[in-house]
Each structure stands twice: as structure tokens, then as C-alpha cells.
């Protein structure tokens, strides 16, 4: 070979390239200018992706996204009406498969209404084949999220998925994924229905409570601050051991309990110490008060203590066969007085000591504090007058000239 021939005098150029391990493709110089790009029919060249297509020449874009671990995404626009929309068709083989659809954006687009930047999440799960079917749940985070989910089994393992959403849900972003044995087809302009399809099955909606979506008293099984009905016993600061319709406070067997129609029982340490009904307060234990006990409305009867006595006093009602009724006043040293009804119905009032009074009356008789007595035995007059009228007032005794006065004559 002549060097001035630059290998042109090689008889079998293809064989020469193989001997030099240069392959069997025609090549050009490597570079970025025209005429320097390699050419040939190698499948690695002819089947290569073109960057100018921005992925548009990928045959199975969903599978490509799943292969590289990316989330499949698309745009969805609902019309200006609230209602039901067929958002997707899924293939969900039994035993089992899973698919998820996540929507970003909500019903409406008004500046300052932050709840419209909503998130809705659908989770679809196939059953075990007995029975055949799927389960669909919707997880809400905002009032403008999707409201409900439903599905229609169109054939075999194929299901149309519907959601209910408010009006003006324009240009939402939908992300979705599914297991390798399933498939999801989303619709960018979903089919609309003002009512839920009649042959559909309703899914379950769950609200993810947050500072925007706060639970109501019904959501958490609580009573509203405006009042409500509590079914069962209530314990404040403790468990309830009284049971029934009762309230205990601090101690599990101390509180109030309904003991019948119109009867409110009062309990302390599981012992019934009293009750209230429409006739009043009934107690089976002592009543201790630092104040007074007052009965009546406009005019009251009061039982009070100044707490400065040297002894304790007792006002007691008791009786037996011989003394049916005795109302007695005592102190720590003994009894003061009592009023007693006898078996024959008569009444005796007895004082264990002196009686001091300006005037004493017994029937029609009057006993004055100067010792005089008025009564019928004295002619319905005073004893002093009766004596003056019926006995000698002055007697004068003297010499023969004395005058004797008898009976004031």
C-alpha cells in the first residue's frame, strides 16, 4: 500500500475495518456541523427519541412515566355547573388492584378565597372476587373539593368513575397512578350529569379535618354549645358508676340520677341521700348550713343560728304510744320545754323552768304581772275589786264614843 493513496488501494475495505475493529457502519467525523452526524440503519439510531418532540414521540407515555418513577399528570376542566362528572374509566382486576386519582384545584377561582385551592383524593381498590367489585373512597380537604364519588361497572373489570363537584371547576390538575395489573384513563372534559347515574354505586366520602374544615359536634359525636341530647350516663372528670340517666362529678358514684318519672335522685358514694320531685326536696340525711333555713315566699319562717351559743340546741319531733306527738326543745344539758298531744287528743305545754310574762292567759282568766287576777269566778272582774266589794275595808275600835265602821258603812 502506498501512503499517498490514503488507504484507497485497500482491496477489501469492509474486511479491513473489521480487522481494525471499526465495525461495519459508515461513519463521519464527530461534530455539531452539517455533515458530521453518523448515519445508518442501526435500530439504536432509527428508534432513538428526538429531543425536539419533548417526549411526544414516546409510544406509551404512561408506562414511560411509571418506568422512571414520575407521576402521570393531565388537565381536567369541568363545565360551569355543579353535578356529576365521569372523570375516568379504570380497569381493576380482582384479588387485587389499586388506583389513585388526585385533583388539585376546586370549584371556583376567586382571589382571596383560599379554600378554592383545594385537594381531592380518590382511592380505588378491587375486591377479592367474592363478591366481585371495587371500593371507592374520596378524601376531602376543602369545601370546594369534590363532594362524592360513585362508579358504574360497565363490563368485567372495567368501571366508569364519577365524582360530584361544584360549579366553575376549571383547569384542574389530575395526577394518577395504578398497579401494574390495572389501568386508568382520565377524561380532560368529563361527561356531565346533573344527577347521580341511576345504576351507579355510591362510594364513601371522608373529610380530613383541618383549620379550614373544622368538625361539627355531629362529626365527633359531641353536644353543641346550644344544647342537645346526651344518650347514656355522663361522668365529669371521672367514669360513671351510677349508670342509667345520671351525671357524676369528680367521684364516679356521687351525683344525680333519674329515679323515675319526675324524680331526680341525689347520690353520695353510691348511697341515695335524697331526691327531688314535684312535691319538693326530700332528704334522708342531716342538713348542715352556715346560713338560715327559710320557708315561705313573701312572709318567711326562718330557722337561723348566730353561731355564738355555748351549746347546741335541738328542736325535735318524736312520740310513742303514751305520748303520740311531742315537739321538744333541748340543748346539751337537757330539755327546755315541750308541747305534747295526749292519747285523748288534749295538749299539754310544759316548761322545765320559770315562765316570765307580762300577762298570762288561761281561757278567760288573766294573770297580771302585779299579782291581780281576772276571771269569771270574780264576777268577770279583777280579784282586787271583788275583795274590796265583799269584805270590810276599815275597822275602828275605841272608847264609848268610838264609831265602828263595818263594810264602809
195 pLDDT higher than 80: yes
Q: Is the peptide bond before 96 cis (omega within 30 degrees of 0)?
A: yes
* pLDDT at site 86: 98
> 349, 355 in Cβ contact below 8 A?
no
Q: Average per-residue pLDDT in the chain?
A: 88
Which sign, positive or negative, has the C-alpha torsion 85, 87, 93, 99?
negative
Segment 263-278, tens digit of pLDDT: 999 999 999 999 999 9
pLDDT score for 254: 97
C-alpha cell of residue 189: 372534559
Could you give the maximum distance between any two Cα atoms of the chain, in Å?
Answer: 218
Model confidence pLDDT, tens digit, residues 210-227: 999 999 888 888 888 888
pLDDT at 168 over 90: yes
Is the model's pLDDT at 31 over the cut of 80?
no
Give percent of the chain above pLDDT 70: 88
Most confident of 55-59, 133-137, 379-383: 133-137
Provide mean pLDDT across the span 94-115.
96
32-41, 50-59, 220-229, 283-292 — most confident range = 283-292
Spatial separation of the C-alpha atoms in residues 277 and 294, rounded to whole Å = 19
Can you tell me the mean pLDDT for 230-241?
A: 93
pLDDT value at residue 58 = 82
Helix (H), strand (E) at residue 17: helix 13-19
pLDDT score of 111 more than 90: yes
pLDDT of residue 296: 87
Residue pair 284/273 in contact (Cβ under 8 Å)? The answer is: yes
Sequence ranges of the domains in the chain:
66-207, 238-283, 297-355, 359-409
Per-residue pLDDT tens digits for 39-57: 555 555 667 778 888 878 8
Q: 347514656: which residue's cell?
A: 232
Is residue 401 over pLDDT 80? Answer: no
> Which stretches of 153-250 are DSSP H helices?
none
- Is the model's pLDDT at 93 over the cut of 90? yes
Amino acid at each position: 500500500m502506498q501512503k499517498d493513496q490514503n488507504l484507497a488501494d485497500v482491496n477489501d475495505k469492509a474486511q479491513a475495518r473489521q480487522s481494525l475493529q471499526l465495525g461495519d457502519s459508515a461513519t463521519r467525523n464527530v461534530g455539531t456541523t452539517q455533515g458530521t452526524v453518523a448515519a445508518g440503519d442501526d435500530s439504536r439510531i432509527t428508534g432513538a427519541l428526538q429531543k425536539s418532540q419533548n417526549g411526544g414521540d414516546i409510544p406509551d407515555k404512561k408506562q414511560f412515566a411509571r418506568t422512571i418513577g414520575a407521576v402521570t399528570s393531565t388537565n381536567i376542566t369541568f363545565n360551569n355547573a355543579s353535578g356529576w362528572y365521569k372523570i375516568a374509566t379504570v380497569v381493576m382486576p380482582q384479588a387485587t388492584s389499586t388506583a389513585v386519582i388526585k385533583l388539585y384545584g376546586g370549584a371556583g377561582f376567586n382571589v382571596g378565597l383560599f379554600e378554592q385551592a383545594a385537594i381531592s383524593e380518590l382511592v380505588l381498590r378491587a375486591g377479592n372476587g367474592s363478591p366481585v367489585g371495587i371500593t371507592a373512597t374520596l378524601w376531602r380537604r376543602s369545601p370546594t373539593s369534590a363532594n362524592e364519588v360513585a362508579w358504574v361497572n360497565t363490563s368485567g373489570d372495567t368501571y366508569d368513575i364519577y365524582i360530584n363537584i361544584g360549579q366553575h371547576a376549571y383547569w384542574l390538575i389530575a395526577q394518577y397512578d395504578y398497579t401494574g395489573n390495572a389501568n386508568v384513563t382520565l377524561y380532560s372534559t368529563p361527561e356531565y350529569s346533573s344527577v347521580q347515574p341511576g345504576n351507579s354505586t355510591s362510594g364513601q366520602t371522608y373529610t380530613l379535618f383541618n383549620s379550614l374544615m373544622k368538625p361539627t359536634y355531629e362529626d365527633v359525636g359531641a353536644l353543641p354549645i346550644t344544647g342537645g341530647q346526651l344518650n347514656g350516663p355522663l361522668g365529669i372528670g371521672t367514669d360513671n358508676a351510677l349508670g342509667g340517666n345520671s351525671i357524676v362529678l369528680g367521684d364516679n358514684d356521687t351525683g344525680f340520677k333519674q329515679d323515675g318519672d319526675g324524680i331526680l335522685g341525689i347520690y353520695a358514694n353510691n348511697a341515695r341521700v335524697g331526691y327531688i320531685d314535684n312535691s319538693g326536696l326530700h332528704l334522708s340525711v342531716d342538713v348542715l348550713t352556715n346560713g338560715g333555713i327559710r320557708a315561705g315566699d313573701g312572709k318567711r319562717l326562718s330557722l337561723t343560728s348566730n353561731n355564738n351559743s355555748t351549746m347546741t340546741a335541738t328542736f325535735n319531733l318524736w312520740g310513742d304510744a303514751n305520748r303520740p306527738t311531742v315537739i321538744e326543745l333541748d340543748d346539751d344539758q337537757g330539755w327546755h320545754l315541750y308541747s305534747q298531744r295526749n292519747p285523748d287528743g288534749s295538749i299539754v305545754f310544759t316548761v322545765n323552768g320559770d315562765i316570765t310574762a307580762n300577762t298570762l292567759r288561761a281561757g278567760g282568766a288573766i294573770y297580771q304581772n302585779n299579782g291581780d287576777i281576772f276571771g269569771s269566778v270574780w264576777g268577770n272582774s279583777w280579784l282586787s275589786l271583788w275583795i274590796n266589794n265583799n269584805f270590810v275595808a276599815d275597822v275602828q275600835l275605841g272608847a264609848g264614843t268610838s264609831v265602828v265602821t263595818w263594810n264602809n258603812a
